[in-house]
Amino acid sequence: MTDRPVFEQIYQLTRPYLNTRRNDVHVDISLQFAHKLLKAEGGQESIVIPAIILHDVGWKKVPEALHLKAFGPKATSPELNRTHEEEGVKIAGAILSNVQYDKEEISEILKIIDGHDSRKKAISLNDQIVKDADKLSRYTQKGFEIDNRRFEETAAEGLNRLRKYINHWFFTQTAYRIAKDELKKREKEVG
């Protein structure tokens, strides 16, 4: 799963916070993309990997009945999306302190988490990679299926949603290219 023992330690401490919204699946997929983007684009593994593992832990503090009001095509309460970021910063800070992670790196990781969805502009290359890896998961077969069920969309509606955002979501050329390739695969699967 992860290359360094401290990343595995962070991941294990994060697991109890990922059993909502299918975040366990989402983080696994996003983590794979983060590794690919780091290799292609640069960035700091010591910032990106913990940030992607921890970025959605705050959803555990938002009641599940309210999740779909916070994000997705029918969102009506974007402040709840912001809540998951703020709560995520608290949880991530505690986990990173628990493993005695470097304090300066903790600071950057928490800044990334605190705005990974709500902040439209990236604050660094590391933030770009986290934002891109997060969004790329939606274009995979598993992510697409999860979102279609979650949003109660047909496959055609799901494809239209992905097409709508592909030119707006991604910061790196590598992520944009991957998203286009994944979208083509979903289109072929749907027919």
In this structure, of 29-33, 77-81, 147-151, 178-182, the range with the lowest mean pLDDT score is: 77-81
Amino acid at 96: L
- Per-residue confidence (pLDDT) for residue 73, from 0 to 100: 87
SS3 call for 191 = coil
Asked if residue 156 has pLDDT above 60, the reply is yes
At 4, the pLDDT band (50, 70, 90 cuts) reads: confident
Alpha helices in the chain (DSSP H): 5-14, 23-41, 45-54, 67-70, 78-98, 103-113, 125-136, 141-151, 155-169, 173-190
CB of 30 closer than 8 Å to CB of 137: yes
Beta carbons within 10 angstroms of residue 85's beta carbon: 20
| C-alpha pair distances (Å), 26 with each of 116, 138, 185, 186 | 15, 8, 19, 17
At 181, the pLDDT band (50, 70, 90 cuts) reads: very high
Asked if residue 118 has pLDDT above 90, the reply is yes
- Per-residue confidence (pLDDT) for residue 3, from 0 to 100: 61
- Per-residue confidence (pLDDT) for residue 48, from 0 to 100: 98
At 72, the pLDDT band (50, 70, 90 cuts) reads: confident
**Domains contained in the chain, CATH given:** 5-190 (1.10.3210.10)
